[in-house]
Structure formats: structure tokens, C-alpha cells
A and B are shown apart, each in its own frame.
Chain A
Amino acid sequence: MTKLIKPTLTRRKLLGTGAAALASTPLLGRYAQAQSSEPIKIGFQVHRTGIGASYGRWYDRTTQAAVKRINDMGGINGRPVEVISEDDGTDPKRGAEVVEKFATQHNTDIAFGTLFSHVVYGSAPRAGELKMPYFVVSEGHHVASGALNRWTMQPGITDVKSQVQAMAPFVAENLGKKVTMIYPDFAFGHDHRDYFSAAIEAQGGEVVAKIAIPPTETSFTKYFPKIPRNTDVIYHVMVGPAVLTFVKEMGEFFGPSKPEIFGFIDSLEAVDIASPGLEFLEGTYFWEGNPRYAQDTNHDFDANYRKAVGVDENGASVSDSKDVSTYAHMFGCWETLNIVKRGMEMADYKGAGDRQALIEAVESMSNMDLSDDHPQGAKIFNGKTHQTFGHQYISKVEGGKLALAHTTSIEDTMYEDEVDYTTQSF
């Protein structure tokens, strides 16, 4: 079912034109038409401590900004939205406890927010058992692979498989066919390895070496000699606190004779591109989930979003230019919350009894247009796999900044369905 859903229209339809007029004057109209002024509670599972803390902080800021905007526009179904945050310590065990806490103590309407995929794996089974809609913003392939359950969805951010395979045509055409991959030796890295290898071979290229770095590693130079001399392109994706060391040591290793370098911005998320030691990245390319540096566009959606969250043109906090955001990922929180709002309006969501209807409403969504609700770009949601698909961006480092060089089509990111969650019972 392909249906174009205009969020503002839906809301107005539900509230009635009179209410809409009221709702547009925030102070007077807020919640005026609500049958109940009980807030809609969103349980926000946030990485405040542990290895995900730098992401968690920005996920938090984005979430607060998105909720403020939703409330300023009249809330959901005329009810205000309240965020209840709980730290999961970036730990799967605590993640599961937090989902239980949302379901049975805070009585939230949904659970939302998780980034790190091991926390998703820890929490999703409990969300399913407690029949709690669980909206993740994790970019893992776990949702679309069918490993989770009908209560878990990822409508606001694309997954690794689609990101990775969409890079292969650009890499093969512009950078070279012989690729050496460097990635962390855990599931996220293995997804990169498997999906990129397949995609680059489809483009007539080949992966000449696969270097899996153990996640506990803090020094990297000793592994670089494993890069074959005939490598055209280095493909790197690293996560965690040691990423800056990794990129710096790579530069020191190659010196003046470096191959083409293509990286995932995960390797430098929340890190200033102008940090000392990163000069050699000039002229190399990065995948970006959402361009960190403001680009010249013919629309204001990105600018409005930056303003709401408090991010400047360089992707850093407006209050501290050294505080670089996780710009490539955090838009997922903003977009997911807008989808939740739309889903609740479609389902005429009243309370916990309508949770199933909420899932079904989101499953029925398909096209999402570039708009203030979706500032990262247009998306196509697949209700069967619970996964969204969207444009991917490739940027080039120029003058210590990232300049958009290529935007993939949404079709480049699509792959065959691996699961149909809609056939599973609730």
C-alpha cells in the first residue's frame, strides 16, 4: 500500500479546523481540545553512561528539541508529550531492565531511542513480551533481518546493510576496484564486511584484504602493514573512543603515499575534522547519514532542524564550538518521534490499549517526504520489515570541512525483504 501521508493534514483532520486554528496559537490553543490532558508518555532509553555516552547526549538533545516542537504544535491528539528518560548505561542487561521499568512502573505509551545494537538485542525480547512498542534509532540491520519481533521498529533511520551497499557504486566508479576493509571485530563490523564485499563484487571490484580490529584495541599502527600494496581504496569504519587514534595513526603510517580513502563518519562522529593530526584526510571521502556541515540547499528543513536542536553550521553545539554533534545519526530521533506522532494520530491513540493499533498504523506507512518532519531527506518505509530506506550522502573533506559530493538514490539502498513481521501475531 503506497499512500502519501501529510502529517499536518492528518492532525487537522483529527482535531477539526477550529481546533487547528486554536492549536496554531501555542499559548492559548495548546491541548485545548484534548479529551484528556494526561500527557502521552515516551520512555526514552538513553546512553548517558558507558561507551555510548557521546551519542546519548546528542540523542537526548535532539529528542528534547523534537518533543518541544511537537508540543508547540499542539502535542499528539491534543495531548502533551512527556519524555521519561532512563539511563541504560549502554549495557544490554540494564537496557532490558529499563524497558521493564517503562512498561510496568512509568507506564509509558512507548519505548524509544536506543542506538547501540547490543542494547537493542537485550531490550527487544522484553519489549515484545510486554507488548510495548519499541522504536529504535540504531541503524543496525537487526530489525530488517527478522531477528527481533513485531513490537520493534526502526522507521526513522536507515540500516547498515542499505547504507553499505549504496556506497559500492560510488567507490568502484570514482575511487578504485581493489578495496581493503578495516572494521571493528564485532557484529556491526561484520555487517559492513559482508554487505560491502557482496556489493563491491557486484560492481566488478574486489575486497583484497579484511582487517578486523578487536574492540579493545587502542593502538593500530601494527595492523596497517597487513594492507596489501596493490590496494586502491581503504574502506574504514571504526567506532568507540579510539577512533581518532585510529585515523591519526593511519595518516602517519601512509605518509605521503596514501591510497584513496573512504570512511564511514562513525570513525569520526563527535570528533572535530580539524583536530591536529587529521590533515591527511584532505581529499578523502566519508559516508554521512546526514551532512554535518550545512550545505547549500534549496530548502530550509535542515536549517530549521539545526536551529531547533542547537547545532551550528559546522555541526557543533551553538554554545560550544568544540562540542561536535553526532550529526550523522541523531536526526533519527527527530524523525522517529514525528512518525510516532503521525502513527498515534492515524490510530487515534488513546492509551495502552491502542498500542497494537499504533504498530499497525506505522506498518501502513510508506512514503515520507522531505519536510520539517524529515529534514534528513525523503524516505520509504517498508511496513513488512519495519525498516526505513532513504538517501545516503557521500562527502569529501575540503579545507577541513565536509562538502557533499554525492547523494545516492533511495533505490540504491533497497534490498529484498528478509522478513514479514506483519504475518506475526501480536
Chain B
Amino acid sequence: MTNTTKTHALHYGLLAILAIAFMILPQYHSGNLARVMVLAIYAMGYNILFGYTGLLSLGHALFFSAGMYGLGLTMHLGGWTPAPAFLAALLASAVVATVIGFLVLRTSGVAFMIVTLMFAQAGYLTILYFGTYTRGDEGFALQQATRQLMGLDLTDQTIRYYTALILFSATLLLLAYFIRSPFGRTLIAIRENEERAKMLGYNVTAIKLKAVILSGVISGASGGAYALLFGNTGATFATVQFSILPLLWVLVGGAGTTTGPFIGVLFMTYLIDYASGQTTAYLIVVGVVLVLVTLFLPHGIVGTLRNKYAGWLP
């Protein structure tokens, strides 16, 4: 098998397993998996910037919540239906990502981390400030009756699962295609050596801006999907903690890999779920596992597999 065939086999195999998983798994786990897939979209969006372009953002909750409120507010206050509201989510995160990207790309390294963090914090406070519309920290619930798409009840657990799977598949395949495209390869070139990329004649800033926008829109899609499928918005999803989560997921799963973000979300979700069932001190367990992962799996789960056993892993 060539590496390309192997890659295709991996991606389609994963999607096939996920499609079958719903029929086999008990309801609790399939419900969990739906949420994992939606959040994995967020992690994949983050991975474009962090894993492939080498830009460590601490402000992605801003893009996630732009999507969440883009969908939530248009549905809740505007009475829109899910399809146009989801487009509003994409648009909102695209606009926010463009403006923020334009500003933050003047910086790099740690300054980039801080500037993204600060803008996200300003965004969080803005959501609180306009509490009349957003209901601040508690947010609002999207009523079950409004969460219908083309006659399908998105709150039904089968439809919710497969909607999440469709969005997840679309993102995964898009990104798998994208990183093999010339544009994706340019991003990796920038990550590996920005100066050289510049000398080769690439307009590095413009390319990075495109990466920020793509990353932001995918994160926003995840935020919109979360609000739509789980019926909840709130300022908690715009806090710093929610910006750090995708970083953690991607680092644990494997930065710069296509499947790492999904593995990271899956691993962390079940780690917290399992540990909290065993002990009330589950955060200690989570902490210890994180330390162990850094000690023994330096490139995350998928990244370490790639380095040690399967160099072809995408």
C-alpha cells in the first residue's frame, strides 16, 4: 500500500467505525461520542493554526463563541431556522477571525499567545456586557421545537449523532485534503522555517491570515454545532479555560496530525468521565495522567505512534 492509500484507509476506516459505533454502543457512550465529534471539530480547527502553521493561540474560544452566538442569537432573538443560523455562525466567526487575524499577525511567538488571549478575554467581557441579549454567563437554552432541520429533529439521538458525524467527516476530509494541497504544504513550510518560506517568495502574512480565517471558521462551526445539537449557549464557552482546552486536546492527541485532535478529545473526555466515577479526586488523576503523557508520549498519542511505528501516519 502506498502512503496515500493507507491515509485514505485510516480516515475512511475511522469514519466507518464511528458510523457503526452508534449501533453497537450503549446510549450513554454514543451520546458522549456525539459531543466528542463536535468538540473534535474545534480541536481540528485549532490544529490548523497550532499543528500546521506553528502559531500557538490562547484565544480560540473567541472563534468558538462567535459561532455559538452567531447561531444562538439569530435563532433565539431573530427566530431564524437552523440552516441560515448555521451560516450566520460561519459568517460571524469568519468576520471575527479576519479582524483579529489582521491584528494579531503583526506579532509572533509568545506575544502572539498573549494578544490572542487578550482579544478573547475582551470578547468574553463583551458577551457579559451585552447581558441583556446574551444573558451573560447563564446564556440561554434553544428550545427543542426550534431545533429542526428539513423535517429532521436534531434533538433525536440518532439524528444528532449522525449530524455530528457528517460535520466531523466533512471537516476531517477537508483538512486531510487541505494539508496535502500546495497551500497546506506552504503552511508546514512556514512552520518549519518562516524565513526560508519568505525568501522563496511566499507572502507569508497573507498565507497566515488565510490559515487564521480557516481555523477560526472551523472553530466557529464547532461552536454553532454545539449550540444547535446540545441546545445551550453561555459565556463559559468564551473563557480562557475554553481556549486552553483545544491546546490540551491537540497536544495530548498529537499536534500536526489529522486524527490527533479527535483522539485527544476522546481521551480527555473519557479520562475525566472514568476518573470522576472512581474517585472524587479525579482532577488529581487527570493531572497525573497529563504529566505521564508528557513524560512518555512526548508528541502526543498519534504523534508518538507516527515517530515510533508508523511514519506514514497523516
Contacts and interface: CB of A to CB of B under 8 A. Distances in A.
Interface of A: 48-49, 86-87, 91-94, 96-97, 100-101, 104-105, 117-118, 120-122, 124-126, 128-129, 140, 142, 147-149, 185-188, 190, 214-216
Contacts of B31: 100, 104
B273 A188 contact: no
B262 to A, nearest CB: 18
Given A118-B139, A129-B155, A149 B144 contact: yes
21 contacts: A48-B280, A86-B276, A91-B236, A94-B272, A101-B273, A118-B137, A122-B139, A122-B232, A124-B141, A125-B142, A125-B230, A125-B231, A128-B144, A129-B157, A186-B128, A186-B138, A186-B235, A187-B131, A188-B137, A214-B128, A216-B125
Interface string B114-153: 0000000000010011011001111111111000000000
Interface string B276-288: 1100101100000
B32 interface: yes
A120 B280 contact: no
B82 to A, nearest CB: 14
Contacts, number: 99
Contacts of A87: 276, 280, 282
Given A104-B28, A147-B141, A186-B131, 14 more contacts: A48-B280, A49-B283, A87-B276, A121-B139, A125-B232, A126-B230, A129-B144, A129-B157, A140-B138, A149-B144, A185-B131, A186-B137, A188-B138, A215-B137
Contacts of B144: 125, 128-129, 149
Contact of B28 (A94, A101, A117): A101
Give the top 8 A-B pairs by smallest Cβ distance, nearest first: A125-B231, A104-B28, A186-B136, A105-B28, A104-B27, A186-B137, A187-B138, A118-B138
Interface of B: 26-28, 31-32, 35, 125, 128-129, 131-132, 135-144, 155, 157, 230-232, 234-237, 272-273, 276-277, 280, 282-283
B35 A120 contact: no
B101 to A, nearest CB: 26
A115 to B, nearest CB: 12
Q: Which of B131, B157, B276 has the most CB of A within 10 A?
A: B276
Nearest to A49: B283
Contact of B129 (A101, A185, A188): A185
A306 B230 CA distance: 39
Chain A contact residues: helix, strand, loop or mixed: helix
A187 B135 contact: yes
B234 A92 contact: yes
A215 B26 CA distance: 40
B250 to A, nearest CB: 18
B155 A148 contact: no
A122 B138 CA distance: 8
B131 A118 contact: no
B140 A121 contact: yes
A192 to B, nearest CB: 12
A125 B28 CA distance: 16
Contacts of A120: 138
Contacts of B139: 92, 118, 121-122
A185 B138 CA distance: 12
A147 B140 contact: yes
Contacts of A128: 144
B131 A190 contact: yes
B142 to A, nearest CB: 7
Given A105-B26, A118-B234, A187-B138, A97 B282 contact: no
A97 B35 contact: yes
B15 to A, nearest CB: 23
